[in-house]
Amino acid sequence: MTTLIIYSTVTLLVIISFIKSPQKTKKAFKIGFNSFKKLLPTLIPMMIGIGIVLSLLSPDTISAILGEKSGLLGVIIGLGIGSVAFMPSFVAFPLGANLLTHGAGYPQIAAFISSLMAVGFMSLGLEIQYFGKKAALIRNLTALTASLVFVIVIWRVHL
């Protein structure tokens, strides 16, 4: 439902923009397409890498590693696995729910999902290219720290 609302809103805004100024709208689409073409050589290997990692780590394998009894080691593993790829929330949350139903623990899934959505070492090359090495590293380390804080909160609440 949310997707429908977002796409409908964007479509409406594009129509309004086109009515107001067809030239500017066409120019904006051309700029966006050219930016996408420039990103494509970097995005394709990143997507292939993410696909390989996620295909090797099935939900059953991950939930075995991130089970409730895995404790701190499971949290560390969850942070590590989640930090590899970068995934949007509409994919990550259902994955987390699936893992929970397969026996994974809440703190471990909190570590996995929060780092999956916030940290992306697979996309680090792309980030460095656009934001610089220092900014990309600071962003990823800050996101990893925030994931740890989030895990501690979940661990305290879950007990």
Specify the pLDDT at position 54.
Answer: 66
- Whether the per-residue pLDDT at 17 is higher than 70: the answer is yes
Q: How far apart are CA 28 and CA 11, in angstroms?
A: 14
Specify the pLDDT at position 35.
Answer: 87
Mean pLDDT of 18-25: 94
- Whether the per-residue pLDDT at 98 is higher than 90: the answer is no
- pLDDT band of residue 89 (cuts 50, 70, 90) is confident
Q: How far apart are CA 59 and CA 94, in angstroms?
A: 11
- pLDDT band of residue 117 (cuts 50, 70, 90) is confident
Query: Which pTM does this prediction carry?
Result: 0.63
Specify the pLDDT at position 53.
Answer: 63
Q: How far apart are CA 65 and CA 149, in angstroms?
A: 21
Q: What is the pLDDT of residues 39-64, one digit of tens each?
A: 777 667 766 766 676 677 676 676 67
- Name every residue whose Cβ is closer than 8 Å to that of residue 135 and which is 6 or more positions away in sequence: 127
Closest CA to 105 of 78, 143, 144: 78
The full set of domain ranges for the chain reads 1-41, 57-158
- Whether the per-residue pLDDT at 106 is higher than 80: the answer is yes
- Residue the block writes with tokens 């729910």: 97
Specify the pLDDT at position 159.
Answer: 64
Token pair for residue 90? 């509409």
- Whether the per-residue pLDDT at 11 is higher than 80: the answer is yes
Torsion angle, alpha carbons of 93, 66, 101, 159, to 10: -90
- pLDDT band of residue 23 (cuts 50, 70, 90) is very high
Q: What is the pLDDT of residues 118-141, one digit of tens each?
A: 888 878 888 898 899 999 999 989
